[in-house]
């Protein structure tokens, strides 16, 4: 049996999405910038998708900018805030995705942008009192805090942060790559300036996403050389990626509650079963279902000779999981997120992440293999 439990890294493309994309790989191939009928056909498909996505998050069409994914969208938001909007200070945390953390550090080094890191507690929750105290300052500021941590699943109270920032007229960017398509968003209710999305996190194609940019903000393109995306991003559009993104997002929100209930039940079941296997097993990050991303479970296994190679052993049994963020799996560095959490000594951490296609049978198979590995059966 093959079991895929690394859905926070990427998800399989939904069959309905493949069906939607196929005509744009075969018949409808015109360049969207061309004025003839072939180009008009594909340009229309892009604009229909833009409206579909805008409607799903209660935004305006002009506020959706298609990108290559979450990393580019995060870079657009953060770099443009400094270069175009006069931001001199970025407030963030040390447990953000590297698309945010490394970008902020580079701006600090090359543009003398001040970077302040908020404190996070033992489960990765941000110190909101500290945030409020830091905003009593006239320095032009961008707050960049991810909605859900991609490694430990801790959820940010995004509405509360938005209120705090709006009160002091502070720019607010949230990396919503792990939550877009998994939680509802209403940009008319949340006072936020930038949201980001990657289609492959909710059964869409890789290489496509979008930046939501509040209509009251004007920024320069990060990529120049063309007038695409209303002069916001140069380069021929990823036509079939955009079409696939729209279909994947439509499917995600049409059946959202059903998907949430299914996945949360699997996560809760796995948590209880793991503790039954070994009471010394604990969990990294927030475990309260109302404060934790339902698709992610980060497990801390007590270190011993049997489970020191747990990830490798699971892979041998056909089970895919992660030891941290897959986006940096090419490096040998440990997780920067887990490094900020306490009690990491003598602990082997594994991230299991679920999707709507994950079954209880797959969880049971995984649990049986974990039991045999850690008990050396």
Domain parsing of the chain, residue ranges: 3-11+256-374, 15-254
Active site residue 327: yes
* pLDDT given at position 204: 98
pTM: 0.94
* pLDDT given at position 137: 83
Mean pLDDT for 133-145 is 93
Check 165, 208, 327, 347 and give the catalytic one.
Answer: 327
pLDDT in tens, 39-57: 999 999 999 999 999 999 9
* pLDDT given at position 332: 46
* pLDDT given at position 308: 66
* pLDDT given at position 374: 87
- Is the pLDDT score of 116 beyond 70? yes
Least confident window among 90-104, 137-151, 303-317, 319-333: 319-333
Q: Which two tokens stand for residue 66?
A: 């298609």
* pLDDT given at position 343: 66
d(CA 371, CA 377): 8
* pLDDT given at position 306: 60
Closest-CA residue to 170 (of 60, 89, 241, 251): 89
Q: What's the CATH fold of domain 15-254?
A: 3.40.640
When pLDDT is cut at 50, 70 and 90, the band that residue 304 belongs to is: confident
Are both 3-11+256-374 and 15-254 of the same fold?
no
* pLDDT given at position 331: 46
When pLDDT is cut at 50, 70 and 90, the band that residue 327 belongs to is: low
**What Rg, from alpha-carbon coordinates, does the chain have?**
21
Q: CATH number of the domain at 3-11+256-374, out of 3.90.1310.10, 3.30.720.110, 3.40.50.300, 3.90.1150.10?
A: 3.90.1150.10
pLDDT in tens, 247-262: 999 999 999 999 999 9
Mean pLDDT for 292-297 is 98
Going from the C-alpha of 323 to that of each of 215, 231, 329, the distances in angstroms are: 39, 40, 9
* pLDDT given at position 261: 98
* pLDDT given at position 346: 74
Closest-CA residue to 63 (of 203, 185, 206): 185
In sequence order, what are the residues at sequence separation of 6 or more whose Cβ sits closer than 8 angstroms to the Cβ of residue 285? 123, 124, 149, 151, 152, 153, 154, 292, 296, 298, 341
Mean pLDDT for 55-79 is 98
pLDDT in tens, 161-218: 999 999 989 999 999 999 999 999 999 999 999 999 999 999 999 999 999 999 999 9
Mean pLDDT for 48-68 is 98
Sign of the four-CA dihedral 288, 291, 297, 300: negative
* pLDDT given at position 303: 81
Mean pLDDT for 306-325 is 85
Mean pLDDT for 76-92 is 97
What is the average pLDDT score of the chain? 94
């Amino acid at each position: 049996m093959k079991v895929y439990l690394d859905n926070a890294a990427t998800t399989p493309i939904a069959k309905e999405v493949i069906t939607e994309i196929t005509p744009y790989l075969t018949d409808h191939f015109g360049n969207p910038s061309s004025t003839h009928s072939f180009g008009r056909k594909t340009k229309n498909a892009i604009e229909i998708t833009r409206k579909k996505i805008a409607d799903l998050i209660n935004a305006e069409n002009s506020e959706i900018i298609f990108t290559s994914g979450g990393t580019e969208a995060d870079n657009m938001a953060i770099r443009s805030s400094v270069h175009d909007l006069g931001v001199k200070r970025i407030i963030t945390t040390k447990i953000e995705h590297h698309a945010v953390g490394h970008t902020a550090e580079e701006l600090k080094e090359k543009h003398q942008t001040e970077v302040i890191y908020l404190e996070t507690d033992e489960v990765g929750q941000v110190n909101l009192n500290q945030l409020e105290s830091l905003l009593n300052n006239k320095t032009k500021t961008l707050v960049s805090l991810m909605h859900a941590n991609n490694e430990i699943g801790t959820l940010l109270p995004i509405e509360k942060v938005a209120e705090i920032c709006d009160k002091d007229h502070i720019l607010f960017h949230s990396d919503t790559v792990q939550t877009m398509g998994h939680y509802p968003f209403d940009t008319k209710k949340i006072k936020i300036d930038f949201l980001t999305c990657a289609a492959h996190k909710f059964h869409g194609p890789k290489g496509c996403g979008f930046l939501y940019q509040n209509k009251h903000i004007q920024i320069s393109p990060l990529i120049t050389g063309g007038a695409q995306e209303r002069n916001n991003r140069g380069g021929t559009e990823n036509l079939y990626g955009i079409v696939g993104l729209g279909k994947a997002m439509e499917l995600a929100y049409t059946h959202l509650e059903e998907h949430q209930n299914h996945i949360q039940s699997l996560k809760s079941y796995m948590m209880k079963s793991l503790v039954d296997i070994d009471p010394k097993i604990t969990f990294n990050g927030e475990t309260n279902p109302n404060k934790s991303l339902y698709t992610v479970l980060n497990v801390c296994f007590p270190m011993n000779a049997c489970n020191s190679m747990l990830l490798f052993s699971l892979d041998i049994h056909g089970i895919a999981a992660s030891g941290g963020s897959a986006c940096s799996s090419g490096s040998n560095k440990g997780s920067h997120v887990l490094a900020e959490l306490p009690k990491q000594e003598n602990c082997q951490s594994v991230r299991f992440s679920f999707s709507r296609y994950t079954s209880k049978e797959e969880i049971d198979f995984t649990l049986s293999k974990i039991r045999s590995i850690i008990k050396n059966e």
